Structure 1
Amino acid sequence: MKLSSHRFDPTSLREYDIRGIVGKSLGDEDAYAIGRGFATFVRKAGGTRVAVGWDGRVSSEHLRDALVDGLTQGGLDVVRTGLGPTPMLYYAEATLEVDGGIQITGSHNPAEYNGFKMVLQHGPFFGEDIQAIGKLAETGDWSEGEGQVTDFDIEDDYVNRLVAGYAGGEFKIGWDNGNGAGGRVLEKLVKLLPGEHHVLYAEIDGSFPNHHPDPTEEKNLADLKKLVAEKNLDFGIAFDGDADRIGAIDGLGRVVWGDQILSILAEPVLREVPGGTIIADVKASQALYDRVAELGGTPLMWKTGHSLIKVKMKETDSPLAGEMSGHIFFRHNWYGFDDALYAAVRLIQAVRVLGGSLTALKDKMPALVNTPEMRFQVDESRKFAVVDEVLDRLEKAGADVNRTDGARVNTPDGWWLLRASNTQDVLVARAEAKDQAGLDKLLGQIDEQLALSGLVRGEQAGH
């Protein structure tokens, strides 16, 4: 392919990645232009070689070929590391002699989507950098050259690194790969783990025939719950479509949410890194921050978004971070990127160290009532403005507000959050209280603030 310039569909250039519907807002020409633009960035930074990985979606190999075309014509050598989960590409970028990496993946989006997640010199490539790829494409001001393509199968290296130093004990575990890109790695991984393992939907299938690959939605965990109940397993673990997000259930089939997983993982880490900074996003429960403090750690609330959290971890030398959405990041004995397969290995180890029962750990957690993440459509031009209006009113009223990412409001009944999504035209709200009456009060406060800005917490938007 040869293009002298290119214009992207503006909806495809997101905050943390480039993503769209294949054939509508994303295609081979976009992939080529991304390659040319990324090559220009890497060359400017003095780099010469990048890794490329891809997921199991129907469109991924097509997009890969166009991307590699663009990268090599931009003067970079490309090492193709194979079909697999996003963290396998991150691992390749962290350990091979390369200056960056790109994973082609639609993550947990429906089958017709695809996209690109990028890393430059071991750091996330996002925000203004992604916008700059768009500007470079419009002018065609790209680097030129003739790069070489090689293949390097990194899968076995990655699997062996996942279990290096493993000390997890013998458990009976159910796994749900959801037909996502982590399937082959997972099958190899469970063969190396002691105990009894039952794997659902290991086959990588980009049409996701069994259920949508997003473990943060409880309905997608139905098959795993059934497996755990029928075979009387200790617990269950699930992954999203590209295995950078984890979900878990205990032996009774109760969901262990992202912030609860983080609170379990934090305990063994803080034994080894006393006083360490543990980061979570603004959607996480107050119970998590309290637990980290109780364990002698330094809790830090930060903005939602995997790229933003990675940057903050480096800045604060944090050994562990996580998001409600199931992105878990280890810098303690790992590389600082979000990896659900590695988080699963560490979760099994943590359960063993903390008494051997995930069900008992879940039982000990404070009983709080909370809403799921509520998302509702709002005009793109209004979404940030509404949050600013709400913040102004709350501060005038003397409310206890944290402005890290939107408005997080503490009240005697609990807390509520209203923030604008960075990636979609939606507002996101969440609330948590000690009981239902408290939760109703908090929802009333959210509704009141929205009404004052001319909005209703109406139809919830999908992902």
Structure 2
Amino acid sequence: MNTIDLTASFKAYDVRGIVGETITEESVRATAAAFVDVLGLAGQNVLVGSDMRPSGPSFVDAFAEGATARGANVIKIGLISTDELYFACGVENAAGVTFTASHNPAEYNGMKMAKAGAVPISSETGLFDVRDLAQKYLDSGEIPAAETRGSVSEKDFLKAYAEYLRKLVDLSNIRPLKVVVDAGNGMGGMTTPAVLGDSILPGLPLEIEPLYFELDGTFPNHPANPLEPANLVDLQKAVVEHGADLGLAFDGDADRCFVVDEKGEPVTPSAITAIVAEREIARAKAEGNAEPTIIYNLITSKAVPELVEAQGGRAIKTRVGHSFIKAVMAEENGVFGGEHSAHYYFKDFFNADTGMLAAMHVLAVLGTDERPLSEIGAAYSPYASSGEINSELEDKAAAVERVRAAFGDEVEVSEMDGTTFEHKTEGWWVNLRPSNTEPFLRMNLEAPDTATMERVRDRVLELVRAV
């Protein structure tokens, strides 16, 4: 008798659960069958791969069993980064799934899914329909056989992925750079040598100093989550010790990339967004796009829309979350999009996110400029930011109302995603956003200078955390 409740592992954008508890071979088999049925994939190709987590191979096999039972032809694409899945779905125009739990701890695994052409699937576009049908298959204990069972084959996309990225950003003529890369024992340990090194393609003017390139889903060195400052410490130290020009840190499935400068100091994702946006606007204009569109989420620095407009582009603000960004990219014909969480989206990459391509843009800028990255980054970071600060609260709505009451008519209020308060005269803004999955109220704040940022930060936290 089935005891698994899929509502525990199906989230708004993907599936994540604890291996053997909320995600099992049985649940994967049922999910695969439902994925084929809901998306109408019988007789079509479905791509499936995994990151380096130990449960990945058995889950890939279970997925293949469920998908072929319902008539899909499964192409196993092996060990892949998540952005490599998006690439494969784009070039093959096929739906696909990769088994990954991104930056989550070792006991987790999950599924990131895409429709044909790397179109995202979320709770609003079919993911919960997959969940509900999979639950029926689980509860009945049976997946009905299709009239014609699908086939299973294999294909590798790593070389094609690397070649594709190198065509988008040519690094062959930059000045020599020394780069420390922390893969965190995740998939960046495979994609970095392929794209930036010489494991598959000819070498570039890059000297790569590898940190934790061994693929190991138990994460023996540190969690593969560069968003947490503690997980950047090894990279920061190594950059200084090696006298490197910059450092790159990838998360577990290598779809996000964080950058540190030659001093070991983080370059904010907002600054990276601005740097890449400037290049993408110039490229799009050269190709005849009079007013290229750049997408950014509401927690990104206002330096981004200011730069975009100054460069003759159009800046569009969205909610946080990759399915929202990708949808707006498609609707508005955006050429590039960036998020504060270091997800970067490219029209030329099927509107999907790829940290590697963003890193290549940064290397291209640094490699054609004699200034150090600290100096370049500072030019794109004119404001002071608090970073994300979490407060664990029982009543998150009441905390937001305390802030609203305290500032009154001094601020303009927006509720696009959480609540954003923008001061009418002092030039600062603060966003308070409740987590969907944790008991946290997330605060992000930006101000014209550090003193103002610290003053407002302390005041808002005092209000939020008042008991």
TM-score normalised according to structure 2 size: 0.88
Residue 288 of structure 2: aligned partner: none
Aligned to 1:459: none
Question: Post-superposition shift, 1:232?
Answer: 1.1
Counterpart code for 1:157: A
Aligned pairs for 1:314-325 within 5 A: 314-325=330-341
The question of 1:161 aligning with 2:164 is answered: yes
Question: Hey, what does 2:79 align to over in structure 1?
Answer: 83
Distance 1:95 1:441, change over 3 A: same
Q: Which residue of 2 aligns with 1:293?
A: 309
SS of 1:273's partner is helix
Instruction: Give the whole-Å Cα distance in 1 for the aligned partners of 2:384 and 2:407.
Output: 26
Aligned to 1:12: 9
Q: Distance in 2 between matches of 1:92 and 1:389?
A: 46
Match of 1:461 in 2: none
Q: Does the 8 Å CA contact 1:247/1:258 hold for their aligned counterparts? A: yes
Structure 2 residue corresponding to 1:136, chosen from 126, 133, 146 = 133
Q: Which residue of 2 aligns with 1:435?
A: 449
Q: Does 1:35 align with 2:32?
A: yes
Displacement of 1:373 after TM fit? 0.9
Matches of 1:208 and 1:166, distance apart in 2: 31
Q: Give the CA deviation at 1:302.
A: 0.9
CA distance in 2 between counterparts of 1:127 and 1:446 reads 33
Pairing partner for 1:305 from 302, 306, 321: 321
What is the DSSP-based 3-state SS (H/G/I as helix, E as strand, rest coil) of the residue aligned with 2:167?
coil
Structure 2 SS opposite 1:94: helix
* Of 384, 387, 390, the match for 1:375: 390
Task: Show the counterpart of 2:245.
Answer: 234
Structure-2 residue corresponding to 1:219: 230
Give the C-alpha shift of residue 188 in structure 1: 2.3
Bigger CA drift: 188-197 or 101-110? 188-197
TM-score, normalised via structure 1 length: 0.88
Deviation at 1:394, TM superposition (A): 8.6
Runs of 5+ in structure 1 lacking a partner?
A: 457-463
SS in 1 for 2:96: strand
Offset of 1:389 from its aligned partner? 5.1
Task: Answer with 275-284 or 347-356: which moved more.
Answer: 347-356
SS class of match (2:205): coil
Alignment partner of 1:269 out of 268, 280, 283: 280
Q: Partners in 1 of 2:66 and 2:403 — Cα distance?
A: 45
C-alpha spacing 1:31/1:396, structure 2 compared with 1 (3 Å): same
The answer on whether the counterparts of 1:8 and 1:134 sit within 8 Å (CA) in structure 2 is: no
Distance 1:371 1:287 in 2: 15
Q: Name the CA distance, whole Å, in 1 between partners of 2:304 and 2:369.
A: 17
Q: Give me the whole-angstrom Cα distance separating, in 1, the residues matched to 2:323 and 2:158.
A: 24
The 5-angstrom pairing of residues 256-405 of structure 1 reads: 256-274=267-285, 275-331=291-347, 333-353=348-368, 357-378=372-393, 397=409, 399-405=411-417
Q: How many residues align?
A: 444
Aligned residue in 2 for 1:254: 265
The answer to whether the 8 Å contact 2:186/2:213 transfers is yes
Shift of 1:106: 0.9
Question: In structure 2, how many angstroms separate the alpha carbons of the residues matched to 1:314 and 1:161?
Answer: 21
Distance of 1:33 and 1:362 partners within structure 2: 48
Secondary structure in 2 aligned to 1:219?
helix
2:156 corresponds to which letter in structure 1? D
Indicate the percent of aligned positions where both proteins have the same amino acid.
32
Give the 3-state SS of the residue equivalent to 1:163 in structure 2.
helix
1:105-156 per-position Cα deviation (integer Å, ceiling 9, x unaligned): 0101111111100001221011132222222123339774211110111111
Pairwise CA distance, 1:321: 0.5
Which whole-Å CA distance do the structure 2 matches of 1:403 and 1:181 have between them? 37
In 2 relative to 1, CA 177–234 (structure 1 residues): closer, same or farther, beyond 3 Å? same
SS in 1 for 2:105: coil
Task: Report how far residue 46 of structure 1 moved.
Answer: 7.2
Q: Any conservation in 2 of the 1:415–1:432 contact (CA below 8 Å)?
A: yes
Structure 1 CA distance, aligned partners of 2:329 and 2:242? Answer: 39
Q: 2:93·2:116 contact (CA, 8 Å) conserved in 1?
A: no
Of 58, 63, 72, which aligns to 1:62? Answer: 58
Distance, in Å, in 1 between the alignment partners of 2:10 and 2:317 is 27
The aligned amino acid for 1:109 is N
CA contact (8 A) 2:403 2:463 kept: no
1:408 alignment counterpart: 420
Alignment partners' CA distance in 2, 1:316 and 1:422? 27
SS of equivalent residue, structure 2 residue 133:
helix
SS at match of 1:52: strand
Q: Deviations over 1:4-43 (max 9, x none)?
A: x885342311111010111222221221121011011222
Quick one: distance in 2 between partners of 1:260 and 1:317?
Answer: 22
Shift of the alpha carbon at 1:225? Answer: 1.6
Q: Which moved more, 1:302-311 or 1:351-360?
A: 351-360
Q: Check the 8 A contact 1:6/1:137 in 2, yes or no.
A: no
Question: 1:408-459: per-residue Cα shift (whole Å, max 9, x none)?
Answer: 11111511001122344432111122334422442355346646xxx66xxx
1:437 and 1:340 map into 2 onto residues whose CA distance is 32
Q: 2:191 maps to what in 1?
A: 185
